[in-house]
Amino acid sequence: MKKVLVVDDEPSIVTLLTFNLEKEGYQVTSALDGQKGLELALEEPFDFMILDVMLPSIDGMAITQKLRQEKIDTPILMLTAKDDQIDRIIGLEIGADDYLTKPFSPREVLARMKAIFRRIEPRHVQQEEAEPAYLTIGQIKADLTNFQVTVEERPIELTPKEFELLVYFMKRKDRVIDRDTLLNRIWNFDFAGQSRIVDVHVSHLREKIERDPKHPKYLVTVRGFGYKFQEPKR
């Protein structure tokens, strides 16, 4: 039975989500404020988290950021009372997996959870059964077991989404990948043609893996098409 953490300061929403999640066979733990939600998330292993953005004591974005810093990669669906694209972008940038605006249908919450599980679970199975332990291109080495990356033998800190994006590129070396494909594959999210979330993550990734991020040698832009990951030319 999958365990879900629900954190929202509106008791009616907590009750609604708990009822529908338990009806679908999930085990639900809930909290009405951010501090308690963060404590639960750090103390207990969960399979999924639903976090309201606006929470007493600690907001949902701060919780998400803290969890990702602690290398907790549990899928997170964020809830918000306002349909603000900037909030969506920030939430996804710091590590949330999806974003839903209130009011929402419980059926949509369940559908989005299932979509995220479909994206994540095959990857985990593949990692356990078939994937190599490491990917190496040039001076970049990705440890797929421990989720660590080194550049020129120096360890670098990546967020879970940055790590996932880097591995996706490395597995498709020399292939041009467009932004819409990246949005769908990495975020499993139709972002209405908005590509900023991809560009921001690529920019952050370049700052960490490239000697000169303004003149990248690994992760290059193919103008009019997208991005390509390659071994630097000698």
**Each residue's pLDDT tens digit, 34-51:** 999 999 999 888 999 999
CATH fold of 3-127, please?
A: Rossmann fold (3.40.50)
Q: Which residues pair with 150 in a beta bridge?
A: 141, 155
Residue type at 10 in one-letter notation: E
| CB-based contact 98:78 (threshold 8 Å) | yes
Mean pLDDT along residues 55-65: 91
> CATH 1.10.10.10 residue ranges in the chain?
131-229
20: left (phi over 0), alpha (psi -120 to 50) or beta: alpha
> CATH 3.40.50.2300 residue ranges in the chain?
3-127
Range among 28-32, 61-65, 76-80, 197-201 rated most confident = 28-32
- Is the pLDDT at 170 greater than 90, yes or no? yes
pLDDT tens readout for residues 20-38: 999 999 999 999 999 999 9
- Tell me which residue of 69, 33, 25 sits closest to 51, measured CA to CA: 33
- Is the pLDDT at 94 greater than 60, yes or no? yes
Distance CA 33, CA 228 (A): 43
Distance CA 28, CA 22 (A): 7
Q: Which CATH number fits domain 131-229: 3.10.180.10, 3.40.50.2000, 1.10.10.10, 3.50.50.60?
A: 1.10.10.10
Residue type at 21 in one-letter notation: L
Q: Which helix (H) or strand (E) holds 150?
A: strand 148-151
**How much of the chain, in percent, has pLDDT values that exceed 70?**
88
pLDDT of residue 86: 63
Q: Which helix (H) or strand (E) holds 76?
A: strand 76-80
